[in-house]
Amino acid sequence: MIYRAPTCAGCRIGVAALVVEATITLTVDGEERTATVDTRVTLLDLLREHLAQASAKKGCDHGQCGSCTVLLNGRRVTTCLAFAVQHDGAEITTAAGVGSAEAPHPVQRAFLDHDGFQCGYCTPGQICSAVGMLAELEAGWPSHVTTDVASAPARTREEIRERMSGNLCRCGAYVNIVAAIEQAAER
């Protein structure tokens, strides 16, 4: 850990606050990456600004749009709300890592088949969220609209909509996104 004590030149008063840095190592899309960052840096800024991994997008930066979603140790998270230092040693999968151009993930294939995007800005987050959401459904996790929480939730359109409700699309491609996820779920 590195401690730096900056000085405020404007008022010529020593700044009391300390900047604390930490060196962390993560696996991003199968590749081990190391960076030394301010402990206040978010996982999203670590990916985009320090590791030049721009698949996850910054939309609201407040946990409200879902465009920054990645899979963190297999579970979907909004990276703008996660401190990077909390996840030293974690395995991150972005939309760029769930499949490839030659071998797309079934969710990526389905988004292409159904035109599940227009400008594409929200799409990496939608892809990661859909992959994580289908795993949650498969594992039997209930959602807000699950009527019988004692049984495995059905893969209904209502369940998909509810579970994807944290991922906004300014282009309004929702109908095609849901159709794409239904197709991917059938594979």
Under the rule (CB under 6 A), what is the footprint of ligand FES?
A: 58-61, 63-68, 78, 80, 117-123, 169-171, 173
Q: What is the DSSP letter of 42?
A: B
The least CB distance from residue 67 to ligand FES, in Å, is: 5
Partner residues linked to 69 by β-bridges: 78
Pick left, alpha or beta for residue 70 (phi over 0 → left; psi -120 to 50 → alpha; otherwise beta): beta
Residue 182's contacts (CB-CB under 8 Å, 6 or more residues apart) are: 155, 157, 160
Cβ proximity to ligand FES, 111 vs 153, nearer residue: 111
The least CB distance from residue 77 to ligand FES, in Å, is: 9
* Cα Rg of the chain, angstroms: 19
Spatial distance between the Cα atoms of 186 and 151, rounded to a whole number of angstroms:
20
Cβ proximity to ligand FES, 146 vs 176, nearer residue: 176
The least CB distance from residue 61 to ligand FES, in Å, is: 5
The least CB distance from residue 91 to ligand FES, in Å, is: 20
By three-state DSSP, how is residue 38 classified? strand
b/e 108-133 (16+ beta carbons within 10 angstroms → b): bbbbeebebbeeebbbbbbbbbbbbb
Residue 70, number of CB atoms within 10 A of its CB: 31
The least CB distance from residue 131 to ligand FES, in Å, is: 17
